[in-house]
Amino acid sequence: MQEVDIINNQQLLERLARKGSEGTQEVSVVTSPGARAAAWAVKVKSNSSYNVYNVIAVVIGDAGSLPAEIGGQTEAVNLAESFLQQGTLPAGTYAVMFRVGDKNVFYAKP
């Protein structure tokens, strides 16, 4: 019985990872029990294009101290804004960024 479950799980993972019929990659987020999505605190540095922003990870310190920037900049999509219009989120805005499939996303209202 356990071997059947393992085979079924392997087939499910293979199906989730295969390419779509029109040449598009299927994206799936698969987590195991106890797993969690990776998330970082970020600071918006600038608008890149539409609702895509250049952000940098920050480390939150003690109360009364400013977050410290770490690492390099990366791009992230703001899900609170239209995908068809130029974003208006000001530089210096803080948010929580998640990795979903091959994209970084956050939600911050302008």
C-alpha span between 51 and 66 (Å, rounded):
26
Q: What is the pLDDT of residue 5?
A: 65
The answer to whether residue 5 is domain-embedded is: no
Instruction: Flag whether 69 is in a domain.
Output: yes
* pLDDT number for residue 21: 47
Q: Give me the amino acid identity at 85.
A: Q
Question: Is 89 inside a domain boundary?
Answer: yes
Print pLDDT tens along the chain (110 aa).
Answer: 566 667 676 776 666 665 554 455 555 555 566 666 678 999 999 999 999 999 999 999 999 999 999 999 999 999 999 999 999 999 999 999 998 888 999 999 98
Pairing of strands 68-78, 39-49: unpaired
Per the rule left: phi > 0, alpha: psi between -120 and 50, beta: everything else, 64 is: left
Query: Considering its fold, how many domains does the chain have in total?
Result: 1
Tell me, what CATH number does 41's domain have? 2.40.50
In a domain, 93, yes or no: yes
**What is residue 23's predicted lDDT score, i.e. its pLDDT?**
53
Instruction: Identify whether 75 is part of a domain.
Output: yes
Is residue 68 assigned to a domain?
Answer: yes
CA distance 84 to 19: 27
The pLDDT score that the predictor gives to residue 94 is: 96
Tell me the residue range of the domain where 83 lies. 35-110
Tell me what pLDDT residue 45 has: 97
3-state secondary structure 43-78: EEEEEEECCEEEEEEEECCCCCCCCEEEEEEEEEEE
Is residue 14 assigned to a domain? Answer: no
What is the pLDDT at residue 102? 86
Q: Strand 103-106 vs strand 39-49: parallel, antiparallel, or unpaired? A: unpaired
